[in-house]
Structures are given as C-alpha cells and as structure tokens.
Amino acid sequence: MNTTLRTTLLTVALSALLAGCAATPAAEPPRVDSAASTQKLQQLPRKTGERVAVSIYEFRSTVGDIPARGGTDMFKTALVESGQFRVVERARLNEGVVREKQLNASGLTTGSSAAQPLLDAKYIFEGAITEANAGQTQRSAAFNIGGAELGASKGTDVLAIDVRVVEVATGELVNVVTVRKTIVSDSTSFSGIGSLIGTVLAGKGRNAAYVPDLRLQQQRKESIDLALRAVIDEAVIQLASRLP
C-alpha cells in the first residue's frame, strides 16, 4: 500500500470519527420513574380505613463526603407512593401552607382554610445517611499482547441510611430501620490495536509507520442519588410493615 493511499484512508477514518462526535445525540423523551424499588413501593397492598399521619422534617447526612441532597423530598415521595400513610407537610410549611392560611385570614382568598387546624402527625421520621464506604472492594486485570491491551476493573461502594420513628405524643423512639445498599461500578478498556498491527507488519518486513491506533473505554456506575432513592424506598417498605 503506497503512502498516498494510506494517507487517504487515514483522512477518511478521522473524518468519519469527527463527524460521529459532532452529530447531535438523539433526544430521549421523559418517562415516569420505573425503578425496581419504586415499583415495589407501588405494589404494596393499599391500606383500608384510617391511615396513620406521619411527617419528616429533614433528611440529614452524617457523612461529610455525601450530602443528603433531596433526601427529604425523596422520603416524602416514597411515603406517598407506598399508600400506607397520610403524609403531612412540615419541612416547607412556611413556604406554602402557612402563607395560604395567612392570605385566607386576611380575606384575600375565599373559603375558611385559616380557621381549620392542621392535621397532627402521630409519628415523625428522622432520616440520615450514616455510612458510606467508598471503594470497599476494587479489582482490576489487564491482558497485553503485541502492544494491544485489554483491561477491566470492578469496584463496590456501600451506602447506608438509618430511619428513626418518634411518637409525637410521648417523644418515644418506637422503631429504627437501617438499610444498606452496595453500589457496583465497572469499566473496560481496549487500546493498542495499532501497535499490534504494527508489530505484525514489522514481523513481515512491511512499513507500519502509518498504522492508526484506537482506544476505547467504557465506565458504568449507579449514581448516588439513585442509590439513595433505592435505600429510602426500601426503608419505607419496612416501616409500612412495622407501624400500624
């Protein structure tokens, strides 16, 4: 293969690669959350009769590297989706409900919401991220032949939450739930195909100066937010079986 042909093929390959990178990715439509933990919540038998009223003020994190982020909202969402509890707002009471009652009390809105007392919660949940073990296990391996290398690695992290149940009337801590989840990550890589081809060509006495190289890498890891939602969902499932 002459130099001109090699240069032409390399130019075509690079152009195709750049064109693929520049292409606009296809838009994905939004979808309703269908995570396995969410489906498990929604499949709980609906409670009949009066459901117990519950609330949560704040979901905290005692692990400095992992903020609680939207833990409070995730917890409230899980409580509602379970169909086992009457969930009353407390975390953002002043941002919505109280303002509406004030508007009603001043005569700016119709109805009598200002005169109606808020529903009291029988139980308050206190949730916290209490454990995060990053890099609990790490394994990697690589195989090299003629300059081409195939590598793979796998690791696990651990995330845990504690949820305490406090009875409002007495202040008694009546239940505790601890849920842990392993977060698996893996990666694969492939590189040096050009070196391998070059080695083969050189062994046959052929010029390998213009052999292109290629490197591919893929990494996968569940996000902390998805892992947090999963452990919260499981905690609510456990609470539903423990509380009346």
For the cut 80, the answer to whether the pLDDT of residue 99 exceeds it is yes
**Checking DSSP bridges between strand 123-145 and strand 215-221, what pairing results, if any?**
unpaired
Residue range(s) defining the domain that contains residue 143: 34-242
In a domain, 82, yes or no: yes
Tokens of 60: 């905290």
Q: Residue 63 is part of a domain; what is its CATH number?
A: 3.40.50.10610
In a domain, 6, yes or no: no
In a domain, 86, yes or no: yes
Asked if 58 and 74 count as a contact pair (C-beta separation under 8 A), the reply is no
What pLDDT sits at residue 7?
A: 47
Q: pLDDT band for position 4 (50/70/90)? A: very low
In a domain, 109, yes or no: yes
- Give ∠ CA 197-139-61 in degrees, rounded to 5: 130
Residue 184 half-sphere exposure, CB side, CA atoms within 13 Å?
A: 3
18-29 pLDDT, tens digit each: 556 556 677 888
* Mean pLDDT, residues 6-29 taken together: 60
Single-letter code of the amino acid located at 15: S
Number of domains in the chain: 1
CA distances from 71 to 12, 55, 158, 168 (A): 50, 13, 17, 22
For the cut 60, the answer to whether the pLDDT of residue 192 exceeds it is yes
Tokens of 220: 């996968």
198-237 pLDDT, tens digit each: 666 666 767 666 666 667 788 888 888 889 999 999 999 9
For the cut 70, the answer to whether the pLDDT of residue 15 exceeds it is no
Cα–Cα nearest to 79, from 116, 42, 113, 112: 42
* Mean pLDDT, residues 46-54 taken together: 90
* Mean pLDDT, residues 172-198 taken together: 84
In a domain, 99, yes or no: yes
Number of residues assigned to the chain? 244
What pLDDT sits at residue 228?
A: 92
In a domain, 20, yes or no: no
127-182 pLDDT, tens digit each: 999 988 776 777 888 877 767 778 888 888 899 999 999 999 999 999 999 999 99
Residues facing residue 60 across a β-bridge: 128
